[in-house]
Structure 1
Amino acid sequence: MTRFLVSGLINIETTLRIERFPLEYNPVNFPFFGVHSSVSGVGYNLAKALTRLGNDVEFLSLIGKDAAGQLVLNALREDQIPSAGVLQKLEQTPQSVILYDSQGNRQIHTDLKDIQEQIYPPAEAEHALSACDVAVLCNINFSRPLLVKARRLGKPIATDVHAVSDLEDDYNRDFMQFADILFMSHEKLPLPPEEWIQVVRDRYPARIIVIGLGSRGCLLAERGRQEVEHIPAVSTRPVRNTIGAGDALFSAFLHAFFQGDSALEALQKAVVFASYKIGAVSAADGFLDSAGLEALYQQTRPA
């Protein structure tokens, strides 16, 4: 069993189903059963998915001393995610509001409160890193000091920089420089994904680079292999909300890859996992367990 350390954001997420984008002004709406609130955030999504898949997870995050923080602690307990590393050091827990439509489009509004000015206690972070097999460091500021610590300890580093648009992006450059496994989205790329993945491979040392393509699947580049693989998307059930698809893809890939699968097969499984996940509304719901993933993968795997 792989022991993952996940360092990343937790927030209270509220999703709102709308008819279409752009959203037309109307003073009052009644979207019955169209508003849903839950505990989410990139770090939470990864920790929950990896736990659901049967991995041992140590989770580092910062939440508020408010009522929302207590909701987070309750959810951690219900989802059987260890909470010792989730510290109530903020005055307010971050929140997000996500609008989504039936076509899979979504718009995310995230209020991080003051989390970007906070530091995770260094001694506690280093202790957690020393005990893990893989450091999954989300691109939030309190994860940044852990990059150097993880490298010094010889731990593989995996990160997802999400919607990046600049090769020398000031915010994400540290994460891209330290990552052994680097994920990102196609949504804001300045070049076609097939060109961008080559540029990233030339600039940064990651041994595995993945670009999520949404409904078109994803691209995979491996150090030492010139060709770039395209893994097409699959359909496993009707789509309800695409929020969290990238987190699902990332977590399932890590699970399968560190269980011994090749990068290609791990990503093929991750595409199945993400496809099933987007049949749920919340970014932190819809995760298969390992047996369910394997069974569904066998049904959909390439011939």
Structure 2
Amino acid sequence: MSKILVSGLINIETTVKIPNFPLEYNPIHYSFFGVNSGVSGVGMNISKALTVLGDSVNILSMVGKDFEGERAISTLRNLGVNTDFVENKLKTTPESVILYDENGRRQIHCDLKDIQDTSYDESLFKEAMNKCSTIILCNINFSRPFLKIAREQGKIVATDVHVLSNIHDEYNSDFMKYSNILFLSDENINEPVEDFVKKISEEYDNEIIVVGLGAKGALMYVKEDNFIGRFKAINTRKIVSTIGAGDSLFSSFIHYYDKTKNPYESLQKAILFASYKIGVAGAADGFATEEHLEELYKQHKNDF
């Protein structure tokens, strides 16, 4: 069992199923069993995925001094995630609304409340980091001061900067600079992905870079082997919504890489994990156990 630290957002997420995009105006839409609410956010999604896979997780985050904050902490505890490092210091708990259609497309409306202007206690971070092998620092402001600290302590630092179009992106440059393992999406990359990744590696010298390619799979760069290549997507069940696919890919890769230090097999299993996850609507639901994932890998290993 790996001990992993996750520093990231917790929010209340409402998913709404719609007929299609663009959504035609109507005073009211009836969507029976199409509207659901739960605890989510990148920090929550990653922590839950890792826990389902069998890891022990310390989650660092902040929630509001409200009912939704209590709901978030209670949900995490019921999952077996250590909540000793979740602080109740925001005015209100962040929220999001996600619209998704039958083709799996989604649109996210995120309200971070005051979390981007609130700092997290550094001493608590150091305490939480102490016994963890890998440090996941999601690209939210309160994680930023911990990047350098974790690297100086010799920890493996991993982050996902999500959508990126410029390797000198001002908001994400710190996260890119200090990450051993860097994940991102190809959604806003306006040049060959291989060229974009080479520029990132030359600028930031990351050990591993993974780019999610959606329905086309993923691309990975491994510095040690001077490798860059693509891994195709594998369909394991019908797609309901692609929300949370990136978090799932990232989580499973970290789980297996922390365990084996084999980036190639870790990415293949991560692709299967993400494929299975998008068979449900919520970003924090649909995760396969390690046992189930190993069975999927036996079935699909030769398909890559």
2:295 corresponding residue in structure 1: 295
Which deviations, in whole Å up to 9, do the C-alpha atoms of 1:202-243 show, x marking residues without a partner? Answer: 111110000000011000000033341211111111111110
Equivalent position amino acid for 1:185 in 2: S
1:285 corresponding residue in structure 2: 285
Q: Is residue 202 from structure 1 mapped to residue 202 from structure 2 by the alignment? A: yes
Q: What's the C-alpha RMSD, in Å, of the aligned pairs?
A: 1.0
Q: Distance in 1 between matches of 2:77 and 2:57?
A: 13
Note if contact 1:166-1:190 (Cα within 8 Å) is conserved in structure 2.
no
Q: 220-229 vs 230-239, which deviates more?
A: 220-229
Q: Is residue 94 from structure 1 mapped to residue 94 from structure 2 by the alignment? A: yes
- Displacement, 1:297? 1.0
Which ranges of structure 2 fall in alignment gaps of 5 or more residues? none
**Moved segments of 4+, more than 6 Å:** none
Kindly, what percent of the aligned residue pairs are identical? 49
Task: Calculate the TM-score normalised by the size of structure 2.
Answer: 0.98
Q: Distance in 1 between matches of 2:80 and 2:126?
A: 23
Q: Name the SS of the counterpart of 1:161 in structure 2.
A: strand
Q: Distance in 1 between matches of 2:138 and 2:125?
A: 14
1:166 corresponding residue in structure 2: 166
Aligned length: 303
CA gap of 1:38–1:214, structure 2 versus 1, over 3 A, is same
Q: Distance in 2 between matches of 1:196 and 1:19?
A: 35
1:81 corresponding residue in structure 2: 81
Q: Distance in 2 between matches of 1:73 and 1:167?
A: 36
Q: Is residue 11 from structure 1 mapped to residue 22 from structure 2 by the alignment? A: no
Q: Distance in 1 between matches of 2:122 and 2:263?
A: 32
Which deviations, in whole Å up to 9, do the C-alpha atoms of 1:86-145 show, x marking residues without a partner? Answer: 111111000001111111211111000000011111111111112211110000000001
1:230 corresponding residue in structure 2: 230
Q: 126-135 vs 232-241, which deviates more?
A: 126-135
Q: Distance in 1 between matches of 2:67 and 2:95?
A: 12
Which ranges of structure 1 fall in alignment gaps of 5 or more residues? none
Equivalent position amino acid for 1:251 in 2: S
Q: Is residue 265 from structure 1 mapped to residue 261 from structure 2 by the alignment? A: no
Q: Distance in 2 between matches of 1:235 and 1:145?
A: 39
Q: 173-182 vs 148-157, which deviates more?
A: 148-157
Note if contact 1:220-1:228 (Cα within 8 Å) is conserved in structure 2.
yes
- Displacement, 1:283? 0.3
Q: Distance in 2 between matches of 1:45 and 1:224?
A: 30
Note if contact 1:135-1:157 (Cα within 8 Å) is conserved in structure 2.
yes
